[in-house]
Structure 1
Amino acid sequence: LAARSPLDRARPASGAAASVLAEQADALLPYLTRYQPARWRVQLVPLAILACVAWLSWVAALVLALAAPLIPLFMAIVGWRARAASEAQMLEQGSMNAFLLDRLRGLASLRALGAVEATALRLRATARNLQVRTMAVLRIAFLSSAVLELFAALGVAMVAVYVGFHLLGQLEFGAWRGRLSLGEGLFILLLAPAFFEPLRELSAAWHDRAAGEAALDAIGQMAQGAEPLPGGADPRAPVQSVRGKPPAVVVRDLDLSHRGEAAVLSGFSLSVAPGEHVALFGPSGCGKSSLLAVMAGLLPLRGGVIEIGGVALDNGSAGQLRARMAWMGQKPHVFAGTVQANVALADPRATRGRVHAAIRLAGLERVDQAHPAATLGEGGMGLSGGEVLRLALARLAVRAQEADLLLVDEPTAHLDSETARHVGDALMSIARGRTLIVATHDAELAARMDRVIHLGPMPMQRLARTEDALA
């Protein structure tokens, strides 16, 4: 998950990922500590016991040898069904967790719309489905144990019948030295249950096998179809800031597309001078945000070259180049914690003074809930939408102390004109002496840039209004 692009559209839902990592991955422990040793004992111990029994009586050994294969055969048949049931249970569990997390995040909206009862009914139905699938898994687990006990009991009983009749003189064959002694007969009878004991242990761990293999598949599926994060293969690699002269940004013959979708941009080229402020301007869906993400090394390149400060962006250089960038997305997330921790997210070493200065620059100094010691809820509970954007701007200001390239995505989206103007003022102040590339469809913000790059087709009427605003 850490090596995947944060903008990967195939990224698993948070609830499903948490279910796999926190719950389903636990199924690997009994799979490794119980099932695997039991499998090795099944492969070794019965053979040793069978050799000891065959030394005294080939008939008793033949009975055990015929009974033993029936157990794994029927357990394998049951196991196929057990694995399918375990996979269905884990899928249902992940879906329920994802559903619950999504509804908890939108609880305020559900209450406002009067949809709490409907959500509770659906959650109850989902929990009922999970209960049914869990009981199906347990039924199959009990069935596998019953299969083992049945054939184990039959095998021991047949050996006991043979030994008893042999000692009574009713069956004269089956022993290598004519007739078994009482001690030899008791020895065979004592070994017969021990012959099936490893199989009994395997049966007890058979459900662990089904759950463990289903968990391995679930973990493996999290990596399928992943968009890799450039330079994310080793997130522990040390990265140092290289801030200096504002870098030039050169894009040549860029092909921009999401996996399995049509190209958004094809053969696109762009050159941004050091310290220049550029707006990527265009309607929604024209590729502004994706282009910005590719420049930030958050999405892999499909084709073309991107150079930042003369260094080509690739897997080897992405981490180092990101160290000189400051990023502000259009949907900033606020974590549960203090304002100090949220503003200093990109630079934990930031002092309280730097955080105070960033808050003032973002225009949050008059907001009671935005002083550094204030505590915020998950998702910015306690702040309005505009205040959350200003908090992200304060993050940008703190990060800009170590960065000379600012990449900003739709900083004024969904804001009223006055708030958008204040955000624009703060952004221009932060970008002073740095290279700035901002994706926007706000004509007033674009007009404050040194240059505007139009992306995507625009209707003539809208184009005329945009040109008037830029003028």
Structure 2
Amino acid sequence: MQKSRQKYLFRWLKEQQTPINPLFRLNILLAAASSLILVAQTWLLAKLLHELIMSDADRNALLPYFIGLMAGFGLRALILWQRERIGFNCGRQLRNILRRQILAKIQRIGPAAVQNQPAGSWASIMLEQVENLHNFYARYLPQQLLSVITPLVILIAVFPINWAAGLILMLTAPLVPIFMILVGIAAADSSQKNMATLARLSAQFLDRLSGLETLRLFNQTEAQTRHIEKSTEDYRKTTMDVLKVAFLSSAVLEFFTAISIAIMAVYFGFSFLGQMNFGSYGTSVTLFAGFFCLILAPEFYQPLRDLGTYYHDRAAAIGAADAIVDFLEQDSPLEQGGAEVPPTLQHHIEIKAENLVVLSSQGSPLTKALNFCLPAGSHTALVGQSGAGKSSLINLLLGFLPYQGSLKVNGEELQQLNPEQWRRHIAWVGQNPLLLQGTIRDNLLLGDINPDEEQIEQALTRANAREFTDKLGLDYQIQEGGIGLSVGQAQRLAIARALLRNGRLLLLDEPTASLDARSENQVLQALNQIGENSTTLMVTHRIEDLKHSDQILVMRQGEILQQGNFDQLKQQGFFAELLAQRVQDIN
């Protein structure tokens, strides 16, 4: 990773700190207070030792020193506990904020863009990579300031007592941060590689897990197991590279700290032996000064050592932020422009397209220029071979893809409408309806609606779903992936959910493709109930649906070749070929 990129990511990480600034400042204030108490404790301890050893003072007279020491230990322990709580809350708040940003971005770019990456990679960003930012805010950033405050407080305390000891501390202190900067360059690269490897492993594992049935049928489980093993081994190696850098930095920091403390110990040793007579402002070096400076010397370097320990948290955060920032800052045509106008839809919806070109989430054209009209209250069938652009058109109407040209809803341009409010007027049923883990009632109310019990019962009746919901009950638990219901039952629940939305635009993407004949008839009866008061666009190949449609749009390779009703199209052009193929497939 380039240095400029690392600097940019570090600035981005610090910019996210704004919401937690009050807690962050409180953390630093408590740390500064702890440093002052530390100096006071050290003064008490050095004074106590000097009086006991050099002055042979009465022990009862020294009792206040003991009480002061105990009080200092208690206060510092309390402050440390409170700082740990504050640091944890800072990390938790920032993680929640970033996860909300990622979810908001996913919502804005839509499912069409999300499907371009494996589901496991999104899970990695949301979980592991955001989690790797916790210690950056909980530990590293506070420690960065503390590594300046505590040494400065100690230097202010040491210099009036012995300028030579203060000079030793001041000259040796820069060795620690210089080495940390050198190590940090390699650490950030290792962490970034580790995060990328983890994202690939997560994506591969989730994809293989979801396709386990297919892999077993084709006897590919062993081959895929070896593939996962190789990816796991790559992740192990990158993790060990990160740990090697972390352990190396800790060892070298300990070495420099030990050398620095040893230099001070040698200075005071020779001073007590009378070999050195400088540093104490013309007076002899006292036992109090020696104890005071030597006890504070490890504490002087401790914040720097802790910063070195937490430096790998900085490297891990930069590595994780690389993927997060790439995602959050990627351009999406759906996010460009206004799109805040609420749709004025008092009656049926009429849709007109002129020179409409559907674009991918990256902005490349998916169709040629399309011209069509969906009259208010009409039923339109959309037909074509796989890859013709039917699903792209459906995704566009749902607001999940951008476009060029004109697409007007009751005279208003679609891309100028507020997408969330626009979708409130849409009822959609696809080939594989989403049923979340939860009760049947939870899934029926997924569309942000608040129907009463009578409306729910009516929707279930119209969707021909009462035959199983009465038996199972609305509190029946559906497992992840819709386990517990058949495909036909899941489809009828999706239709009941669409009925409860009472949408003015009904979009159907081959809703009966995976059903048997009986379930298909039940679903189609329910769909006819929805379509009575809606403008309907249905992707279908069923001849009966085509016969009863007001108009048919025939697509091939991203272009609308034919438009008209069934009687007008059945004996001409590409539609006649599709119809003949359909009849042959049925027979």
Calculate the TM-score normalised by the size of structure 1. 0.84
Residue by residue over 1:345-395, the C-alpha shift from the partner in whole angstroms, topping out at 9 and shown as x without a partner, is 325533454444444444445558985444433222244444443433333
Flag the 1:70–1:443 CA change in 2: closer, same or farther, 3 A.
Answer: farther
Match for residue 5 of structure 1 among 104, 110, 126: 110
Match for residue 20 of structure 1 among 119, 122, 125: 125
Q: What are the within-5 Å matches in structure 2 for residues 52-63 of structure 1?
A: 52-55=157-160, 57-63=162-168
Q: Which amino acid aligns with 2:189?
A: A
Aligned partner of 2:142 in structure 1 is 37
Q: CA deviation at 1:16?
A: 2.9
Measure the CA separation in 1 of the matches of 2:324 and 2:287.
56
Measure the CA separation in 2 of the matches of 1:255 and 1:240.
23
Between 1:260-269 and 1:31-40, the stretch displaced more is 260-269
Given that 1:59 and 1:175 are in contact with CA atoms closer than 8 Å, whether structure 2 keeps it comes out as yes
Aligned partner of 1:290 in structure 2 is 392
Given that 1:338 and 1:372 are in contact with CA atoms closer than 8 Å, whether structure 2 keeps it comes out as no
Aligned partner of 1:257 in structure 2 is 359
Aligned partner of 1:440 in structure 2 is 540
Flag the 1:372–1:431 CA change in 2: closer, same or farther, 3 A.
Answer: farther
Residue by residue over 1:40-83, the C-alpha shift from the partner in whole angstroms, topping out at 9 and shown as x without a partner, is 01122223433444445554444323321121121222222223
Flag the 1:293–1:22 CA change in 2: closer, same or farther, 3 A.
Answer: same
SS of residue matched to 2:265: helix
Q: CA deviation at 1:195?
A: 1.8
Q: What are the within-5 Å matches in structure 2 for residues 162-177 of structure 1?
A: 162-173=267-278, 176-177=281-282
Match for residue 407 of structure 2 among 306, 319, 322: 306
Flag the 1:184–1:315 CA change in 2: closer, same or farther, 3 A.
Answer: farther
SS of residue matched to 1:136: helix
Measure the CA separation in 2 of the matches of 1:354 and 1:414.
28
Q: What are the within-5 Å matches in structure 2 for residues 133-282 of structure 1?
A: 133-173=238-278, 176-177=281-282, 180-225=285-330, 227=332, 244-260=346-362, 262-282=364-384
- Calculate percent identity across the aligned residue pairs: 34
CA RMSD of aligned residues (A): 3.7
Calculate the TM-score normalised by the size of structure 2. 0.69
Between 1:196-205 and 1:455-464, the stretch displaced more is 455-464
Flag the 1:167–1:368 CA change in 2: closer, same or farther, 3 A.
Answer: closer
Given that 1:337 and 1:375 are in contact with CA atoms closer than 8 Å, whether structure 2 keeps it comes out as yes
Given that 2:334 and 2:361 are in contact with CA atoms closer than 8 Å, whether structure 1 keeps it comes out as no
Q: CA deviation at 1:275?
A: 0.7
SS of residue matched to 2:316: helix
Flag the 1:180–1:107 CA change in 2: closer, same or farther, 3 A.
Answer: same
Measure the CA separation in 2 of the matches of 1:334 and 1:367.
16
Q: CA deviation at 1:150?
A: 0.4
Between 1:96-105 and 1:430-439, the stretch displaced more is 96-105
Between 1:71-80 and 1:381-390, the stretch displaced more is 381-390
Flag the 1:429–1:410 CA change in 2: closer, same or farther, 3 A.
Answer: same
Q: Which amino acid aligns with 1:393?
A: I
Flag the 1:260–1:98 CA change in 2: closer, same or farther, 3 A.
Answer: closer
Between 1:425-434 and 1:176-185, the stretch displaced more is 176-185
Q: What are the within-5 Å matches in structure 2 for residues 396-435 of structure 1?
A: 396-399=498-501, 402-415=502-515, 420=520, 422-435=522-535
Flag the 1:422–1:98 CA change in 2: closer, same or farther, 3 A.
Answer: same
Match for residue 73 of structure 1 among 178, 188, 191: 178
Q: CA deviation at 1:227?
A: 4.1
SS of residue matched to 2:133: helix
Q: Which amino acid aligns with 1:44?
A: I
Q: Which amino acid aligns with 1:195?
A: F
Measure the CA separation in 2 of the matches of 1:107 and 1:370.
32
Flag the 1:227–1:408 CA change in 2: closer, same or farther, 3 A.
Answer: farther
Residue by residue over 1:198-228, the C-alpha shift from the partner in whole angstroms, topping out at 9 and shown as x without a partner, is 1122123223222333333343233243647
Q: Which amino acid aligns with 2:248?
A: L
Between 1:459-468 and 1:255-264, the stretch displaced more is 459-468
Q: What are the within-5 Å matches in structure 2 for residues 309-320 of structure 1?
A: 309-314=410-415, 317-320=418-421
Q: Which amino acid aligns with 2:576?
A: A
Q: CA deviation at 1:178?
A: 6.7
Q: CA deviation at 1:431?
A: 0.3
Q: CA deviation at 1:152?
A: 0.6
Match for residue 85 of structure 1 among 190, 214, 221: 190
Residue by residue over 1:419-441, the C-alpha shift from the partner in whole angstroms, topping out at 9 and shown as x without a partner, is 55554443233201221122334
Given that 2:356 and 2:405 are in contact with CA atoms closer than 8 Å, whether structure 1 keeps it comes out as yes
Aligned partner of 2:55 in structure 1 is none
Given that 2:333 and 2:361 are in contact with CA atoms closer than 8 Å, whether structure 1 keeps it comes out as no
With a CA cutoff of 8 Å and minimum separation of 6, indicate the structure with the bigger relative contact order. Answer: 1
Given that 1:231 and 1:319 are in contact with CA atoms closer than 8 Å, whether structure 2 keeps it comes out as no
SS of residue matched to 1:163: helix
Q: Which amino acid aligns with 2:389?
A: G
Q: Which amino acid aligns with 2:170?
A: A
Between 1:202-211 and 1:376-385, the stretch displaced more is 376-385
Q: CA deviation at 1:287?
A: 1.9
Measure the CA separation in 2 of the matches of 1:318 and 1:231.
13
Q: Which amino acid aligns with 1:464?
A: A
Q: CA deviation at 1:196?
A: 0.7
Aligned partner of 2:424 in structure 1 is 323
Flag the 1:91–1:230 CA change in 2: closer, same or farther, 3 A.
Answer: closer
Flag the 1:260–1:430 CA change in 2: closer, same or farther, 3 A.
Answer: closer
Q: CA deviation at 1:90?
A: 3.1
Q: CA deviation at 1:146?
A: 1.1
Flag the 1:49–1:64 CA change in 2: closer, same or farther, 3 A.
Answer: same
Between 1:205-214 and 1:430-439, the stretch displaced more is 205-214
Measure the CA separation in 2 of the matches of 1:206 and 1:369.
60
Aligned partner of 2:24 in structure 1 is none
Aligned partner of 2:551 in structure 1 is 451
Are residue 346 (structure 1) and residue 458 (structure 2) matched?
no
Aligned partner of 1:463 in structure 2 is 575
Q: Which amino acid aligns with 1:392?
A: A
Q: CA deviation at 1:315?
A: 5.6
Q: What runs of 5+ residues in structure 2 fail to find an aligned partner?
A: 1-102, 563-571
Q: What runs of 5+ residues in structure 1 fail to find an aligned partner?
A: none
Between 1:313-322 and 1:123-132, the stretch displaced more is 123-132
Residue by residue over 1:252-289, the C-alpha shift from the partner in whole angstroms, topping out at 9 and shown as x without a partner, is 33221214464223443332221111223222222222
Between 1:336-345 and 1:360-369, the stretch displaced more is 360-369
Q: Which amino acid aligns with 1:19?
A: S
Q: Which amino acid aligns with 1:168?
A: L
Given that 1:240 and 1:323 are in contact with CA atoms closer than 8 Å, whether structure 2 keeps it comes out as no
Q: Which amino acid aligns with 1:379?
A: G
Given that 1:10 and 1:225 are in contact with CA atoms closer than 8 Å, whether structure 2 keeps it comes out as no
SS of residue matched to 2:111: coil
